Amino acid sequence: MNIDDVIYVICLLACIGAGNYVRKIRGNTQKKYISTALGILMVFIVSGWNSFHCFVSAILGAAAVIYVHPSKCHLAAFTVMFGYLAFFRLASKFGLPDPPGHINMIQMIMTLKIAGIGFEKTGSWKKLKEREKNEDVEISEYDSDIQSVNMMEIFHYSFNYIGILTGPYYRYRTYRDYFETSYSDYAPTIKTTLDRLKCAGLYCSLYLLGNYFWPLEYALTDEFYNQRSYFYRLMYVWPTFIIFRMRIYTGLTLSECVCTMAGFGAYPVEADVVNGGGPRKPYKHLTPDTYKGDYTFTAIVNTNVMDVEKCPTFRETMKHWNICVQYWLAVNIYKLFPSKKYRTVVTLLVSAYWHGFRPGHYFCLMGAPFYVHNEDMWDKLIRKEATGTKRKILDVLFWFFKFFCGSYLGTAFLLVTFEKIWRFYSSVYHTCYVAWIIFLVVGTIWTKQRKAQEKRKKRLEENKTERTEQDKKSQ
């Protein structure tokens, strides 16, 4: 780890430790202000005077949410926050110093939060308008309350120390519930945190060990390209991607620990909680005094690590990776984009833009749909109807190709620049891209042949049925 990573981890651990204190504060106003003060302190420690970006963007975004008409405030907040994200990343073009790397994640999470409030406010406003026309439309107290959200509340939400460094993304409603409900007093905060800390320790150990033997920097040296074989270079994507995953798992799991130690995001299981979105069923009647069931922290779970590692397909893996951010993209971009034909592409473009402007982000994120299309096609051709031993073998093969694809694309994400990416891909003769094209061509031909056979079979059955009916009529 470099010194910035060490400082970042120390800050995350400090936030985890602070949770035990914050959770026990009885006064909601005092708890809210202390949480915000801790968040501002963390931002300043990580980014120094560059933290002014966070304050400026928060004020501009909050103004868009508050002062633009509710029917359009989601578009205004989205434009302001994603526009400022571009300015933030191009700061050097405007004569400002380049912000340190870790403040980028802070700015990214803040962008989702404030733009998310705009989408929440517009969505609730539309429900309120529909209720005026149709009394059967269900609305909640929250739908009315969010219409009067003010600058100070958005500021508290944006700078709450819980999630300020690495996420997870959570809705404004989840933030409000933390101060208005007492679920955190009854949820298994200590046990859940300790369990996740053990996992974070394992991921961090694997990251440090892997990075010692297979550092990414080695893939940038002349020795790697001049003295290593084609097979060695191609296979190097495997340890590189494993190290990348362990690093991400460590950060995301520690960020979850910040939430669980504070009791943030705790809900009764019966509330049917979704990652990032919070409860989907009424839950205010489930008071801790009478509720005797279990509690869950599903609302703040970033990644289902074991599902990511075990599931056989890329499509399924994406459902378990960075779930809270995917929830934001699905609800605010995918479902709301007017054209069904282009909504997937637009959602991926927004995701790539949110991650950054570097070529590696687009090589990785925009290459994924191409592989998923291939995977879906071959799943229908050979895996979907397979059973028994054949299905198990195919699951292993699909799992292997899933991680090969992820490793290949993930290496581009890590190499960042076009020159480095092209040098590496050229050194392995663009193997995966060539293989995907071959699989695409073969799969497309096979699919057309199968459809043609099914049509012929269906036509024969229809002709047979017609002849049978004619024979019956002639008799």
Annotated active-site positions, please? Answer: 322, 355
The whole-angstrom separation of Cα 53 and Cα 85 is: 9
Residue type for position 73: C
Whether 248 contacts 320, CB under 8 Å: no
226: which residues sit within 8 A by CB, 6+ positions away? Answer: none
3-state percent breakdown (helix, strand, coil) of the chain, nearest 5: 75, 0, 25
Provide the β-strand partners of residue 267.
296
- What does the radius of gyration of the chain's CA atoms come to, in whole angstroms? 26
Whether 117 contacts 172, CB under 8 Å: yes
337: which residues sit within 8 A by CB, 6+ positions away? Answer: 343, 346, 347
- Nearest CA among 147, 167, 183, 169 for reference residue 70: 147
Whether 74 contacts 121, CB under 8 Å: yes
The whole-angstrom separation of Cα 170 and Cα 375 is: 31
Whether 273 contacts 279, CB under 8 Å: yes
Asked if the peptide bond before residue 168 counts as cis, ω within 30 degrees of 0, the response is yes
The whole-angstrom separation of Cα 348 and Cα 141 is: 34
CA angle 375-276-316, nearest 5°?
A: 15
CA trace torsion 194, 200, 206, 210 (10° rounding): -160
Residue type for position 25: I
Whether 154 contacts 117, CB under 8 Å: yes
Could you tell me the two tokens for 175?
A: 């933030």
Q: Distances in Å between the alpha carbon of 88 and those of 17, 96, 326, 411?
A: 31, 9, 23, 25
Strand blocks (E) in 212-343:
267-268, 273-274, 278-279, 295-296
CA 451 to chain centre: 36
Query: Residue 95: left if φ>0, alpha if ψ -120 to 50, beta else—which one?
Result: left
Q: Which helix (H) or strand (E) element contains residue 275?
A: none
